[in-house]
Structure 1
Amino acid sequence: MLRAPAFWLPGRRGLAPLLLSPVSAIYARATARRVARPGWRAPVPVICCGNVTAGGAGKTTVALDLICRLSARGLTPHALIRGYGGTAKGPLRVEPDRHDSRAVGDEALLLAKHAPTWVGADRAASARCAVAAGADAIVMDDGLQNPTLEKSLSLLVIDGSFGFGNGRVIPAGPLREPVAAAAARAHAAVLIGEDETGARSLLPAHLPVLRARLVPGPDTAALARRPVFAFAGIANPSKFFDTLSEAGAIMVGRRTFADHYPYDDADIEAVLAEAEALAALPVTTRKDIVRIPARFHDRIAVSRVGLAWDDLEALEALLAPLFPPKPAPREIAPPDPAACTA
């Protein structure tokens, strides 16, 4: 797993992005041609939690939040994901007891704990399987640039601390396509955390922007005043470290790995030894723990986070047209017994 180059970071300039800009132009044109293709229209609402940058922006967290909200409505949502980092081609229904992160990827295992989850590059093929299996709603984790499935609601998820990086398209920057192109296909943006890079100013004025923030779960709050050794292999580990600090944990050491890093025994034994030397509790993210051999799980704490929306009514306004309340069954007067004679 490769780390993103430093010149992709917000505010970074230099010779490398300039030299790579011709390749970026080719990449952007290829993406534009691909996303212009028509996709399959599913018979159920399809919600896409996508982004415009390579790497994490909080898509899985948003997808999990929506799955829980739809389930609370009495719906049966299924999740769709490509399964980055996994070997399965799909469409394949994830079975957490049988599949591991090497087969289906870490995000798929997280989603499968909350809803039936399908992995596969062809989102339309996965969606057909989901509908056949009883889905009455589909939540896509990523896929804004995948044209095979028509979306009912596309959310452009933005990490407030990273924004759009240096604002350039791959490989000169982290963008999968120009911001304007992605925003034109989105119904709304979801900005997670403070807008530290001015990302909102780069969005069209008419695009609704929903604000949300990460909040510690009960297991994270329980780490308050405890010395911890934090480690993570995610796109933006600083968010994880900040969450621990905000929860009151005493961080005496930390270590970062590449995004989606496939931990082996030696990696974890080294982490545990370092934590023990510091008399600290080793702690990692829920995305990391599914990539760690199960025999180590009882020795590592997991920090989970949830999503708090600044304006729940704005979110509900986007969801309501997709899931109108079902009309109450019409009451029919019972027949007159006298008319029901043989």
Structure 2
Amino acid sequence: MRAPLFWHQPAGLTSTLLSPLGALYAKGTERRLAKGPREKVGVPVICIGNINAGGTGKTPTVIALAEKLRDRGIKPHVVSRGYGGSVDGPKQVDERTHSADQVGDEPLLLAAFLPTWVAKDRAAGARAAVAAGAEVILLDDGFQNPALHHDLSLVVVDAWRGFGNGKVMPAGPLREPVALGMARADLLLSIGSESAQQRFADHWGASVTKPHLTGELVPLPTGLPLDGMPVLAFAGIGHPEKFFETLRGLGADLHAAHALADHQPLSDTLMTRLIREADLRGAQVVTTEKDAVRLKPEFRARVMTVPVRLRLNEEGPLDAALDRILDFGS
């Protein structure tokens, strides 16, 4: 499903009427988080999560953290719920044999970079990862899950959208109130352009009570020149418009931009229609890395992937937090 438009608009009648349901949802989250004690698995656990529902840039953040840890000589493993996948786990993901239908698109993408586990029971997944040699657990999207002790919690937010109308689902985009989430977080990372960061600071700066990192998703070279290329783009991510703006920034001639729902299945019918439309327009079909892993093999040759990576504007607070939990600073 796509997020309702009123989630990202000033509070109006619809969000006001739904606010009592949002209060119930928030209370349920608070009760679930109060359960304990949380399990410790013998290695540091870094949680990469969000307060918003939907995509905020967690997957590029996990990849960036994994690279930082490996630069320190540490072996990280990812543990994920495997949203959208059928496997209960714990199961280590093999990008060569598993499909997105089995393990979810994000774990399938992450498995190309580092050992990745899917587990509906996060604690069981973490134990399996440690048994397989993990020296740090990167817990993907586990901020509202009470199973594991978090040595470091990093909350990721889209800088342009911020926390939307500030209300909890279904009245707004939040899984819990901002104040409650920020009280548990160690770091906040807002991802977006300079103008998006300014927008976030103007609207939500007063809510940031923890060290605040900023960063931007930057495209990697694809080997094919996008400048002037006729393009038909599709994206089934949390904020598809960001991907389309990236393509425009690379100089692509965007003939069509199809915003799909987050994690939307890429059916034969849908892909055949998109490819036929691109052929009629004389355009190249382009998508994101996360969408590309959901493509069937027969469509992959027709679709160009534009990968992005997280570039942090400052790394001091994150390095200091890693020093603390990894005992590098002692």
- Give the TM bin, normalised by the shorter chain: over 0.9
Q: Relative to structure 1, is the Cα distance of residues 24 and 227 closer, same or farther in structure 2, using a 3 angstrom cutoff?
A: same
Number of positions where the alignment pairs a residue of Structure 1 with one of Structure 2: 324
Alignment deviations for residues 121-155 of structure 1 (CA, whole Å, 9 cap, x no partner) = 22111101110111001111111101100111100
Q: Relative to structure 1, is the Cα distance of residues 221 and 141 closer, same or farther in structure 2, using a 3 angstrom cutoff?
A: farther
Supply the distance in 2 between the matched residues of 1:67 and 1:247 (Cα, whole angstroms): 27
Find the partner of 1:25 among 23, 42, 50. Answer: 23
Higher mean C-alpha displacement, 222-231 vs 271-280: 222-231
- Aligned-residue offset at 1:166: 1.2
Residue number in structure 1 paired with 2:231 = 228
Supply the distance in 2 between the matched residues of 1:183 and 1:17 (Cα, whole angstroms): 22
- Aligned-residue offset at 1:299: 1.0
Higher mean C-alpha displacement, 306-315 vs 109-118: 306-315
**1:156-195 alignment, distance < 5 Å:** 156-193=155-192, 194-195=196-197
Supply the distance in 2 between the matched residues of 1:44 and 1:186 (Cα, whole angstroms): 19
- Kindly provide the amino acid, as one letter, of the partner of residue 32 in structure 1: E
Residue number in structure 2 paired with 1:334 = none
Alignment deviations for residues 222-278 of structure 1 (CA, whole Å, 9 cap, x no partner) = 322211111111110011001111122221111121110111111111111111111
Higher mean C-alpha displacement, 189-198 vs 45-54: 189-198
Residue number in structure 1 paired with 2:207 = 203
Supply the distance in 1 between the matched residues of 2:284 and 2:42 (Cα, whole angstroms): 48
Alignment TM-score, normalising by the size of structure 2:
0.94
Supply the distance in 1 between the matched residues of 2:87 and 2:269 (Cα, whole angstroms): 26
Q: Contact (CA 8 Å) 1:49, 1:154: kept in 2 or not?
A: yes
Q: Relative to structure 1, is the Cα distance of residues 203 and 326 closer, same or farther in structure 2, using a 3 angstrom cutoff?
A: closer
- Aligned-residue offset at 1:220: 8.0
Residue number in structure 2 paired with 1:332 = none
- Kindly provide the amino acid, as one letter, of the partner of residue 257 in structure 1: L
Residue number in structure 2 paired with 1:37 = 35
Task: Indicate the SS of the match to 2:301.
Answer: helix
Task: Indicate the SS of the match to 2:150.
Answer: coil
Find the partner of 2:221 among 206, 218, 223. Answer: 218
Residue number in structure 2 paired with 1:272 = 275
Residue number in structure 2 paired with 1:14 = 12
Residue number in structure 1 paired with 2:104 = 105
- Aligned-residue offset at 1:99: 1.4
Higher mean C-alpha displacement, 55-64 vs 244-253: 244-253
Residue number in structure 1 paired with 2:290 = 287
- Aligned-residue offset at 1:96: 1.6
- Aligned-residue offset at 1:12: 3.4
- Kindly provide the amino acid, as one letter, of the partner of residue 107 in structure 1: E
**Structure 1 unaligned residues grouped into runs of 5+:** 328-342
Residue number in structure 1 paired with 2:51 = 52
Residue number in structure 1 paired with 2:313 = 310
Higher mean C-alpha displacement, 280-289 vs 96-105: 96-105
- Aligned-residue offset at 1:174: 0.8
Q: Contact (CA 8 Å) 2:117, 2:129: kept in 1 or not?
A: yes
Higher mean C-alpha displacement, 314-323 vs 59-68: 314-323
- Aligned-residue offset at 1:221: 7.6
**Structure 2 unaligned residues grouped into runs of 5+:** none
**1:63-102 alignment, distance < 5 Å:** 63-102=62-101
Percent identity (aligned): 46
Task: Indicate the SS of the match to 1:25.
Answer: helix
- Aligned-residue offset at 1:115: 1.1
Supply the distance in 2 between the matched residues of 1:29 and 1:220 (Cα, whole angstroms): 50
Q: Relative to structure 1, is the Cα distance of residues 184 and 221 closer, same or farther in structure 2, using a 3 angstrom cutoff?
A: farther
- Aligned-residue offset at 1:323: 2.5
- Aligned-residue Cα RMSD (Å) equals 1.7
Q: Relative to structure 1, is the Cα distance of residues 116 and 27 closer, same or farther in structure 2, using a 3 angstrom cutoff?
A: same
Higher mean C-alpha displacement, 222-231 vs 141-150: 222-231
Alignment deviations for residues 46-75 of structure 1 (CA, whole Å, 9 cap, x no partner) = 111110011000011101111122122221
- Kindly provide the amino acid, as one letter, of the partner of residue 58 in structure 1: G
Find the partner of 2:325 among 322, 325, 331. Answer: 322
Higher mean C-alpha displacement, 172-181 vs 303-312: 303-312
Supply the distance in 1 between the matched residues of 2:257 and 2:115 (Cα, whole angstroms): 34
Tell me, yes or no, if structure 1 residue 62 matches structure 2 residue 65. Answer: no
Task: Indicate the SS of the match to 1:201.
Answer: helix
Alignment deviations for residues 80-129 of structure 1 (CA, whole Å, 9 cap, x no partner) = 11111111112221122221111111001011111111112221111011
- Kindly provide the amino acid, as one letter, of the partner of residue 205 in structure 2: S
- Aligned-residue offset at 1:200: 3.6
Task: Indicate the SS of the match to 1:98.
Answer: coil
Residue number in structure 2 paired with 1:340 = none
Supply the distance in 2 between the matched residues of 1:290 and 1:119 (Cα, whole angstroms): 16
Q: Relative to structure 1, is the Cα distance of residues 200 and 20 closer, same or farther in structure 2, using a 3 angstrom cutoff?
A: closer
Q: Contact (CA 8 Å) 2:323, 2:329: kept in 1 or not?
A: no
- Aligned-residue offset at 1:217: 0.6
Supply the distance in 2 between the matched residues of 1:182 and 1:6 (Cα, whole angstroms): 23
Q: Contact (CA 8 Å) 1:220, 1:303: kept in 2 or not?
A: no
